[in-house]
């Protein structure tokens, strides 16, 4: 069974631009969660989507948003990029929301210059 895939793997953007990252979950998984990892803050939860609905949200500004499609694929968007948004963005999928192990993708490395 194919794992979680994320595209693109690497991205370089300029301050003020916006970016869209994509995540395809494991087949049959309906929950997708997003995390940001930086050296200073570690791994932080962004949000979770299940059945096209946002179920949980972390403490990030409104510039960070996401959505999920009917095939469970998910995208996250960051608008008006700041230097501090440089990070590894990780997507994780699970069969259901809550109480189930999550499987992570390889991440998208975003660099903002």
What is the binding site for other proteins (CB under 8 A)? 4, 31, 33, 35, 42-45, 48, 50, 55-56, 58, 88, 90, 92, 94, 97-107
* SS3 call for 55: strand
Query: By C-beta, is 19 or 32 nearer to other proteins?
Result: 32
Residues 6+ apart with CB under 8 A from 38: 44, 86, 87, 88
Residues 6+ apart with CB under 8 A from 113: 12, 13, 14, 15, 83
Q: How far is the CB of 11 from other proteins (least distance, A)?
A: 15
Give the C-alpha separation, 105 to 53, whole Å: 21
Q: How far is the CB of 13 from other proteins (least distance, A)?
A: 20
Q: How far is the CB of 16 from other proteins (least distance, A)?
A: 28
Query: By C-beta, is 11 or 88 nearer to other proteins?
Result: 88
Q: How far is the CB of 7 from other proteins (least distance, A)?
A: 14
Query: By C-beta, is 10 or 14 nearer to other proteins?
Result: 10
Give the C-alpha separation, 91 to 74, whole Å: 9
Query: By C-beta, is 26 or 78 nearer to other proteins?
Result: 26
Cβ atoms 105, 6 nearer than 8 A: yes
């Amino acid at each position: 069974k194919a794992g979680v895939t994320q595209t693109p793997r690497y991205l370089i953007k300029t301050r003020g631009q916006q970016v869209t990252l994509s995540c395809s979950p494991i087949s049959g998984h309906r929950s997708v969660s997003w995390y940001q990892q930086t050296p200073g803050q570690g791994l932080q939860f962004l949000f979770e989507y299940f059945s096209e609905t946002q179920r949980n949200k972390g403490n990030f500004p409104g510039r960070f948003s996401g959505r999920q499609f009917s095939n469970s694929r998910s995208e996250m968007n960051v608008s008006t990029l700041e230097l501090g948004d440089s990070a590894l963005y990780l997507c994780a999928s699970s069969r259901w929301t809550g109480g189930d192990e999550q499987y992570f993708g390889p991440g998208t490395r975003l660099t903002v210059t």
